[in-house]
């Protein structure tokens, strides 16, 4: 086998390993249970939160999803929508500290939503929509601890809190950031409808841009490695002749 072919094969093998590493890392990130959008204005009203649950098992289906809503900073006016194949059970809890609103004092709030009866198969995901009347305005973020149960009995607990400066935990809790700002500022509080519109407009563009840059970088890296291998092989061939 010629030195040129050997160099090209070596370069191709290195590139393939690099590509596999990039794609594997991306797959792990996408396998997390997440909440969308990932941010809302403090005190936002009449909006929707979507919990995206992917199936990360090859040999089992997801058969139950339990989302726990915080009661120290409760979400008011929670409603669930009908989901084909799934049954939703909503659990309410009496609040330790009642919340005063324009409509009166709230003493109870939803603390858990359980979806069961359906199936999320390998390589698929399911979106679960939850409407809210009002988000709290006295905290910077909300964590929604989630339990994902599989048909083989395995339970994945998405409950790990991220720590500043540390690596992302293996099973991070879905987090909704709550933002605040002044009028005219790009970070100014948005209404639910404007927040959803902004998320809908920006998410596809940012996702496609990031993926496009990642793919372009990967292709450029592969081509660079192959070109380097060919150049080395040609240099050796020239010296030998």
Residue 53 has pLDDT above 50, yes or no: yes
State the SS3 of 144-210: CEEEEEECCCCEEEECECCCCCCCCCCCECCEEEEECCCCCCCCCCCCHHHHHHHHHHHHHHHHHHH
Going by C-alpha positions, the residue among 53, 110, 35, 48 that lies closest to residue 76 is 110
Q: What is the CA radius of gyration of the chain?
A: 24
Predicted pLDDT at 235: 55
Q: In whole angstroms, how far apart are CA 166 and each of 133, 156, 159, 162, 163?
A: 34, 21, 16, 8, 5
Parallel/antiparallel/unpaired status of strands 39-41 and 145-150:
unpaired
Residues whose CB is less than 8 angstroms from the CB of residue 121 and which lie 6 or more positions away in sequence, other chains included: 55, 61
Residue 172 has pLDDT above 50, yes or no: yes
Parallel/antiparallel/unpaired status of strands 62-68 and 145-150:
antiparallel
Q: Which two tokens stand for residue 136?
A: 């709290």
Residue 118, Cβ density class (10 Å: 0-12 exposed, 13-18 middle, ≥19 buried): middle
Q: What are 122-167's pLDDT values in tens digits?
A: 999 999 999 999 999 999 999 999 999 999 999 999 999 988 777 8
Parallel/antiparallel/unpaired status of strands 141-143 and 175-179:
antiparallel
pTM: 0.66
Predicted pLDDT at 222: 46
Q: Higher confidence at residue 186 or residue 224?
A: 224
């Amino acid at each position: 086998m010629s030195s040129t072919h050997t160099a090209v094969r070596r370069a191709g093998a290195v590139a393939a390993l690099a590509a596999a590493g990039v794609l594997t890392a991306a797959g792990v990130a996408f396998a997390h249970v997440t909440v969308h959008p990932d941010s809302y204005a403090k005190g936002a009203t009449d909006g929707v939160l979507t919990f995206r649950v992917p199936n990360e098992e090859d040999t089992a289906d997801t058969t139950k999803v339990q989302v726990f809503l915080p009661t120290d900073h409760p979400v008011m006016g929670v409603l669930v929508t009908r989901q084909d194949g799934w049954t939703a059970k909503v659990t309410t809890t009496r609040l330790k500290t009642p919340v005063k609103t324009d409509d009166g004092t709230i003493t109870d709030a939803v603390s858990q939503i359980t979806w069961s009866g359906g199936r999320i198969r390998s390589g698929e995901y399911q979106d679960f929509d939850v409407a809210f009347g009002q988000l709290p305005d006295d905290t910077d973020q909300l964590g929604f601890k989630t339990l994902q149960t599989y048909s083989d009995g395995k339970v994945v607990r998405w409950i790990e809190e991220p720590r500043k400066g540390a690596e992302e935990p293996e099973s991070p809790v879905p987090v909704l950031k709550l933002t605040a700002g002044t009028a005219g500022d790009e970070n100014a509080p948005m209404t639910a409808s404007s927040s959803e519109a902004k998320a809908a407009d920006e998410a596809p563009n940012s996702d496609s841009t990031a993926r496009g840059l990642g793919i372009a970088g990967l292709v450029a890296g592969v081509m660079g490695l192959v070109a380097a291998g060919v150049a080395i092989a040609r240099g050796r061939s020239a010296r030998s002749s």
